[in-house]
Amino acid sequence: MFTRQEIKKALRKWNRAWDDHDIEGVMELFHDDILFENWTGGKAQGKE
């Protein structure tokens, strides 16, 4: 389990990566087996 400070630090890092258009930095915080589904039914699974 993460502490409140660890969560804040991770979210700051993630927001900074988005602001810098750093996709590698954004993806660094996702699990390797991530599953993304959007509202149109499109899906993406995994980081690759």
How many of the other CB atoms lie within 10 Å of CB of 26? 16
What pLDDT is attached to residue 17? 97
Give the DSSP letter of residue 29: T
In sequence order, the 6+-apart residues with CB closer than 8 A to the CB of 32 are 46, 47
* 42 pLDDT higher than 90: yes
Q: What percent of the chain has pLDDT over 90?
A: 71
Confidence of residue 39 (pLDDT cuts 50, 70, 90): very high
pTM exceeds cut of 0.85: no
Query: What's the Rg (C-alpha) of the chain?
Result: 13
Ordered by start, the domain boundaries in the chain are: 4-45
pLDDT in tens, 7-22: 999 999 999 999 999 9
